[in-house]
Chains A and B, each alone.
Chain A
């Protein structure tokens, strides 16, 4: 809503986190957002609320208090076992209208990025995508939202001074969850999906959860990525071995995906995913610009290539000149099984 006076803005209070729920389980990113929300709430001297929409949420609420929530607004609804973004958005819009949060945070995941824009449009407020930094402007209490643009080549700081709530999606793995404080508790508000909010527009008819190949690149601390230099699906088994050893995920360049060696949901880069892992190991990837824009924000980059002069070898923190088929097994050997 438009809130272009101090008076209008003071009508909005508290920092909200919209939980990411998958198969009845609250996902890690939710706790990271609660950590970020806690510190924003301290600056604003307000509460942290967590909105949970899912099904079979028993036992999932208490941990949210341990993670920093003061209030949990829960909708346990069979229809929400599936991702029905239209209905979830309707419920959220109603909550926002009723409770008037000052800030709403949500994970920048496929689900979060589908849901929140709908809410922002309906609630007539600004939304900043894919933030990597959040802070409060001490001058006026506005939320300062920092995000990479142009594939990480510039960082932009964005504010929404004249609208409330201020909404942002935040990348997984960027904020820090708080250590669970099992002594903390809070208030639960149970809510329902109203009949009028049940749209008949979408029916989810089948769900496939790829647990074996769960690749969640956005969530991974370690990404072991391969390119044309990996030469085939067998080569990717080598990468998978290292990924398993460090509890990481397997990524790929477009060349590897287009060759059919790995499915598209592994692709990192401009036409794939943008990732921000702690460690990115690029194996046989030359590092064309379309690949770099998807991974250059990773904290620590390692490249393995026969050719020492590729763009990725130049960009990397560690450049290993050599044959990946010889180097990778040695790395696996150096890291003991846990």
Chain B
């Protein structure tokens, strides 16, 4: 099975703090990491490879430094990495991103399965996975929490929904997006780390993937962010209740009633 995992570099929040004044995340000095959901996509691909053979290629579209997430994925079992990079890709929204990734998947050729994270934690859109499937005209399964079976060109997926789940048999090639429940990502071994250091990572430009200039980057992005604002401020001061449990409960319930919340 030939698999491509799409991974994205996002600002990490491990060490982030809340500014006590503005109550907003302090972003200064935060390093970039692999989108957490994508770590599960990588692990799942590596597991499928271990079980039924095949190849795992990780791919990201981003600036040159995004290469580090590819090496991270290689250190836990991916076989190769591809970086889509070039000024013309800049400013891509989810339409243009899914177009570029799909073009690269076509260029790789013979791909059976594409895995993505459920969503990227910076944009939070969850649109790129289904977008790639649509660009390629392939089947899709989103919010996948389990892959009970994968063989003979058919894959079985358990999709998580708000109200339960469903089990689908999907004819390959297909695009899946995965949630955290699906597995427990492994930590890299020393050997994995060394392999990741050594491997050459090709950089593909828009021309390399035969992308239409009008469909990538800002040109190819129908959406425009016209402004950003801080979120509406949270209500006034914190009401601290440190009396007895019954006093606190009483005050809380009165407060909820006063606000019409109960």
A residues adjacent to B (C-beta < 8 A): 22, 82-83, 85-86, 89, 109-111, 113-115, 117-122, 124-130, 144, 148-163, 199-211, 214-219, 246, 264-265, 267, 270-272, 274, 278-279, 289-290, 292-293, 296-297, 300-302, 308, 311, 313-323, 326-327, 329-331, 333-335
Contacts and interface: CB of A to CB of B under 8 A. Distances in A.
Q: Is the interface of A mostly helix, strand, loop or mixed?
A: mixed
Given A161-B224, A314-B18, A335-B262, 13 more contacts: A115-B130, A118-B131, A129-B94, A148-B124, A149-B228, A151-B25, A159-B224, A160-B222, A201-B138, A216-B162, A218-B162, A271-B180, A322-B248
B140 A274 contact: no
A151 B121 contact: yes
Nearest to A115: B130
B92 interface: no
B241 interface: yes
B217 to A, nearest CB: 15
Nearest to B133: A118
B180 A158 contact: no
B240 A204 contact: no
Given A86-B139, A150-B122, A334 B25 contact: no
Nearest to B240: A319
Given A129-B124, A151-B124, A204-B167, A85 B130 contact: yes
Contact of A157 (B36, B156, B228, B250): B228
A319 B24 CA distance: 19
Contacts of B126: 113, 117, 129
B259 interface: yes
Q: Is the interface of B mostly helix, strand, loop or mixed?
A: mixed
Contacts of A335: 253, 262
Contacts of A296: 231, 234
Interface of B: 11, 13, 16-18, 20, 23-25, 36-37, 93-95, 98-99, 121-131, 133-135, 138-143, 145, 156, 159-171, 174, 179-181, 221-232, 234-235, 238-242, 245-246, 248-250, 252-253, 255-256, 259, 261-262
A158 B223 contact: yes
B261 A278 contact: yes
B171 A321 contact: no
A205 B248 contact: no
A300 to B, nearest CB: 6
A314 B127 contact: no
A160 B93 CA distance: 11
Contacts of B99: 121
Nearest to B166: A207
Nearest to A318: B239
A241 B230 CA distance: 36
26 contacts: A83-B161, A83-B166, A114-B142, A121-B134, A125-B222, A126-B93, A129-B125, A144-B226, A148-B124, A150-B122, A158-B223, A201-B171, A208-B166, A246-B262, A265-B162, A274-B124, A279-B261, A308-B240, A315-B238, A318-B241, A320-B242, A321-B240, A322-B248, A327-B245, A330-B249, A331-B252
A293 B13 contact: yes
